[in-house]
Structure 1
Amino acid sequence: MRKIAVLTSGGDAPGMNAAVRAVVRTGIYHGLEVFGIPRGYQGLLNGTLTPMSLGSVADIIQRGGTILYTARCEEFKSEQGQQRGLEVLRENGIEGLVVIGGDGSFRGAERLAKLGMPTIGVPATIDNDIACCDLTIGFDTAVQTAIEAIDKIRDTATSHDRTFVVEVMGRHAGDIALHVGLAGGAESILIPEVPFNLETVIHKLERGVARGKKHSIIVVAEGAGRGMEIGKYLQEHTGLDVRVTVLGHIQRGGPPTARDRVLASQLGAFAVELLLAGEGGKMAGRQDGRLCAVDFETVFHTPRKPDGYLFDLADKLSI
């Protein structure tokens, strides 16, 4: 193997730059030519491959976002788009591809692998919704960003005797809400994987008021419900002063935590080593603290569930 390429795709996640850096420098360390593909699969279809050097990834390990940029590409979901992507890679002499992203990005990588291009996926998404790996790149940073915001919100909630509903990201996975809710001492945590009843939330609020509690925090994942709607319902049915904060895309930005930088460096380097070992069609992940390579098919068909113990613990501690 002499030439490999790397792209970032889907939603950006803090730590993607650290992963790109690891791919480029590990490849060069092993004598490979490494090319970056700006703007994900759209850039691939456009044929915009850029030679990467040691200097091109200097001073990026601490930066959020991705220097390769990212985009969503409907065209690549078609067989014609996938075939065109393969042709571009082969025309440029690329013999292996590293795809840094989430589930949708991995499905594109799997299609290229089935067409004959060795591909390795590196899990990078703040939602932590990829199966067969302990953590995805960006999750730890997103949780840290959200908990810092909730700590500040609690200060003003205490000052004004208010109840705050805080909406965090997580369309199909509630890991961010679960972790920040537990770490932030939330009274209720609403996630898409666990059915809930707002009457139960109201009961908790009323129970708190009865024992003299002056403020409360409710954390909701966006996939479980809209914060504004939930806040309006709670105010109408409790008479409490309820305010809503939607954290939104702030959770995707900012410098990655040390944990995310280490994880990204490990997985980026491991992805290149897998390509050099002749592997393809797999995700480079970490399970039970150890690096592992898992077939995309296994990743796609393995159910991803929230940590039931953490959910129960948060409920117990919120009495």
Structure 2
Amino acid sequence: MSKPRSLALPPGTRARRLDTVRGAFAVLDTAPAGERRGTVLMLPGYTGSKEDFLALLGPLGEAGYRVVAVDGRGQNESYGPRGRAAYRRRALALDAVAQALALGEGPVHLLGHSFGGIVARSAAVLAPRAFRSLTLLSSGPGRVARPQRVRIRVLRAGHALLAKDRVWRTTRWLDSRGEEPDEAVDSEEVLGFLRRRWMLTKVAQLSGTGRLLLRDPDGAAELAGLAMPVHLAYGSEEMVWAPAELAEVATGIGAHHTVVEGAGHSPNVSHPRELAERLAAFWQRVDAPAHRAAPLSTAP
């Protein structure tokens, strides 16, 4: 989960509902400043929400991009059913495809952070014509690190035995034991938001998506087979997936490759301007007419 440092909406950003053929989703929709270069759909990670991308919205809007960050089904302010079947991988991927189509601007750039990368990868495989490119931000393929697997198992077991507020206090303790550099939360406003987000998110969503994280197969072959540019971006201090394994995958499939020095699992929070510059450079290259016939080279 990312922890925003501020909840202030950047200029040109509005909170609204995005109506799709698969229901309505809560989104933050940022208009581009000046000439529009493209549209980006962003999917948050496990226990996260659209607010995880707040620090990115302003810089990307300044770079000319419309950015739509979404709460997935059952996540934060988006409705979700109670049954676990609603949170299977294909169902979540179909949601992402529906969100992209509902934006009404043709193929969009797709970015998924952490668990959102698993959903984004599945959506790109399911409906490649809906997307111009795929960016996995601090996300596999590959198995998540053991401390994160333990944390997910603790949370899933806790929901089966304890009240949701008790599980929230447990997550705060676990987070305090593994805080990333520069990501500690001091603001009472932000702490209050994190608790509200946790309480709003459906237990079935937390359980179902946690199960997917634990069982996600190695998706390198899926990525290699995609007929679109792929970008792997992560911090040099990434702790959920092994950076060396991510670099190996990027090289193996010929993906564009970004390493944000000094960042952990959430460069979208800790290094938003540097990350925004690297993302915009990737998308501009994807959209350049000369690029259409040739893949991007791997370039950290």
Q: Shorter-normalised TM-score: what interval?
A: 0.3 to 0.5
> What is the TM-score when the length of structure 2 is the normalising length?
0.35
Greater RCO between the two (CA within 8 Å, min separation 6)? 1
> What is the TM-score when the length of structure 1 is the normalising length?
0.34
Pick the structure with greater CA Rg.
1
